[in-house]
Structure 1
Amino acid sequence: MLTIRQTRLAWLLVTPTLLVVALVAGYPLAQVFYYSFHKADIAFVEPPVWIGLRNYTYLLTQDAEFREALWNTLKFTFFSVTLETILGLAIALVIHSNFRGRGLVRTAILSPWAIPTVVSAQMWKWMLNDIYGVINVMGVKLGLLANKIAFLANPATVLPSIIAVDVWKTTPFMALLLLAGLQLIPSDIYEAADIDGASKWQQFWSLTLPLLTPALVVALIFRTLDALRVFDVIFVMTGVNSATRSLAVYNRQQLIDFQDLGYGSTISVAILVIIFIFVFIYMRSVGRGVNE
């Protein structure tokens, strides 16, 4: 139980950090909320005009492009986070085991994550090109493809291609977080399970997965937040293509291309609300077992 003196000391130590957060994040966030209730252009050619909830009404009832961007974002988030979690867990289990050359394997696995997203997105954009892209060239030569495919021009393949690039880029991050959780699990429980005759599959479901839940929740929250506000990989590879345009790309289009500060701020608030909803769902469902 903390004493009053310890509580005061804790608040004293954390106050500078709270002030910095309030200045760096709080003020811009308040500005976003303020302009979301106004009609305003980003160059301030005319002073902002108060319009109340008109932006929000249009967003929720009439803006079909926002709903399309939301659907693209949800599809991207679901498939990318699901694949990254499964592959990241498998990789973490492999590199957590003892084998020769484990350090080299860990370094190689983390290499895609070390590459800046803009660089990797542009690299994969060239590799997926239907004329000179190495994937099409090698696919045709090896007989894996009958003809060259315009991966980023075909509506049926463009979003899966971007998801695949994101999975390649971010799976090492998931593996790293889950590996940290695996290293916190004491080895004694596995020795006891071996003595009791439990199989590796039973040990995974009864020991590893429950004890890994805290790290898994943190990893899921981090990756879901990143995926819901994805911008760079989509914008670099396809620009403002309606088949892949995410909420962040649509937001940038309203703010920069259309110079609409008021409606762009409304979309920013909507993205923030959607992220909070996902975090709440995670903490109420997946994260419930952490505190039990």
Structure 2
Amino acid sequence: MTATTPGSLTGAESRNRVGGETVGRLEQRRRRAALLFLLPTVVALLLVAGWPLLRTVYLGFTDARLGGTEEAAFIGFTNFGYLLTDPAWWQATWVTLKFASASVVLETLLGMVIALVLNAHLPGRGLMRAAVLVPWAIPTVISAQMWGWMYHDLYGVVNTLLVGIGILDAPVAWMADPDTALWAMVAVDVWKTTPFMALLILAALQTLPTEIYEAARVDGVHPVRVFFRVTLPLIRPALMVAIIFRALDALRMFDLAYVLAGGNPATATLSVYARQNLVDFQDVGYGSAASTLLVLLILLITIILLTVGRVRLAADTR
């Protein structure tokens, strides 16, 4: 038996060490290259999004007015204290949460149904996919203006249709009535953004292995049971991403509420409320504080959704 000194290595051990060091150096080079490629994007995001956000947070602690932000004085948490005691801000918060919750739930359910239909092997499937994306391709401002005409109490096609088929006895001023204005906005948002949810869910469905469904079909498992026990758990990560994206978008919704309702307090979201204080009342400090609280609300809801998603994923993997 040949003895080896502690500092000596056999040929195989030497090759393994050299190979490991080479792989390690390659990995480090790849990481440095990836960081270099990401650096321009990170810098652009910091300039485009990071600096305005920090500026808005800072102005929320001042008494800045429109056109005089440079002379603003630091007043601490005064603006935030006023916000938390302002009934209009709480009304806007409640409207935003109701709008986001109703929109995201309906869009997820309808998007799931549409995605399942588009994923099936039906004739004209390509044309159906293109047609479904049309509402999503229309800019939100144009969609809001179009639906505003359709909701008109005298000349709108919605009232004409509902009165014609006997659902309504008389035309309804959809956007003037606080009881119907919010749900009218939800209907428009569902019409426009459901294709986005359907597209994301369809992309997840098309990544699923067909062997699982063939085995279930051979075993005679009911399609509904296959959906809840196989399809839904497999697409849950993609579904959670889609829900988070839509929730973030719905919570900061501005253009739809502003164009359709024109700043009506009954349908004013947090974004509309912040804009009114910034522009209409020219109170930059107060409006910036409202925007800051909106960002914090979105951050809190995002953390909750991510936590719930991780818990569900952990439960599915057990």
Normalised by the shorter chain, which TM-score bucket? over 0.9
Aligned counterparts, 1:185-264, within 5 A: 185-264=208-287
Distance 1:108 1:23 in 2: 38
Contact map agreement 1:136 1:149 (CA 8 A) in 2: yes
Distance 1:119 1:228 in 2: 20
1:163 corresponds to which residue?
A: 186
Q: Do structure 1's residue 149 and structure 2's residue 172 form an aligned pair?
A: yes
Q: CA deviation at 1:53?
A: 1.1
SS at the partner of 1:214?
A: helix
The structure 1 residue matched to 2:66, chosen from 42, 53, 59, is 42
Q: CA deviation at 1:45?
A: 7.5
Q: Do structure 1's residue 57 and structure 2's residue 90 form an aligned pair?
A: no
Distance 2:240 2:252 in 1: 18
Q: CA deviation at 1:290?
A: 4.5
2:29 corresponds to which residue?
A: 5
Q: CA RMSD in A?
A: 1.5
1:29 corresponds to which residue?
A: 53
The structure 2 residue matched to 1:109, chosen from 106, 123, 132, is 132
Distance 2:91 2:155 in 1: 31
Distance 2:146 2:129 in 1: 23
The 1:80/1:238 distance shift into structure 2, 3 A limit, reads same
Q: Do structure 1's residue 16 and structure 2's residue 40 form an aligned pair?
A: yes
SS at the partner of 2:133?
A: helix
SS at the partner of 1:143?
A: coil
Distance 2:165 2:38 in 1: 60
Contact map agreement 1:217 1:287 (CA 8 A) in 2: no
Distance 1:247 1:192 in 2: 50
Q: CA deviation at 1:195?
A: 2.0
Contact map agreement 2:237 2:309 (CA 8 A) in 1: no
Q: CA deviation at 1:141?
A: 2.5
Give the AA of the match of 1:230: M
Q: CA deviation at 1:6?
A: 2.6
Structure showing greater Rg: 2
Aligned counterparts, 1:267-282, within 5 A: 267-282=290-305
Q: CA deviation at 1:247?
A: 0.2
Q: CA deviation at 1:243?
A: 0.8
The 1:224/1:45 distance shift into structure 2, 3 A limit, reads closer
Aligned counterparts, 1:169-184, within 5 A: 169-184=192-207
SS at the partner of 1:50?
A: coil
Give the AA of the match of 2:52: P
Contact map agreement 1:39 1:261 (CA 8 A) in 2: yes
The 1:45/1:35 distance shift into structure 2, 3 A limit, reads closer
> Gaps spanning 5+ residues in structure 1: where?
none
SS at the partner of 1:83?
A: helix
Q: Do structure 1's residue 133 and structure 2's residue 156 form an aligned pair?
A: yes
Contact map agreement 1:178 1:212 (CA 8 A) in 2: yes
SS at the partner of 2:179?
A: coil
The 1:45/1:278 distance shift into structure 2, 3 A limit, reads closer
Give the AA of the match of 2:159: N
> Gaps spanning 5+ residues in structure 2: where?
1-22
Give the AA of the match of 2:102: F
Distance 1:139 1:280 in 2: 42
Distance 2:294 2:39 in 1: 28
2:14 corresponds to which residue?
A: none
Give the AA of the match of 2:256: V
Percent identity of equivalent pairs? 49
Task: Give the number of equivalent residue pairs.
Answer: 291
Q: CA deviation at 1:128?
A: 0.9
The 1:88/1:45 distance shift into structure 2, 3 A limit, reads closer
1:81-118 residue CA offsets vs partner (Å, 9 max, x unmatched): 00000000000000100011111111111111111111
1:125-181 residue CA offsets vs partner (Å, 9 max, x unmatched): 111111111111222223222111111111111111111111011111110110001
Distance 1:38 1:180 in 2: 47
Output the TM-score relative to the length of structure 2. Answer: 0.88
Q: CA deviation at 1:46?
A: 7.2
Output the TM-score relative to the length of structure 1. Answer: 0.96
Distance 1:45 1:168 in 2: 40
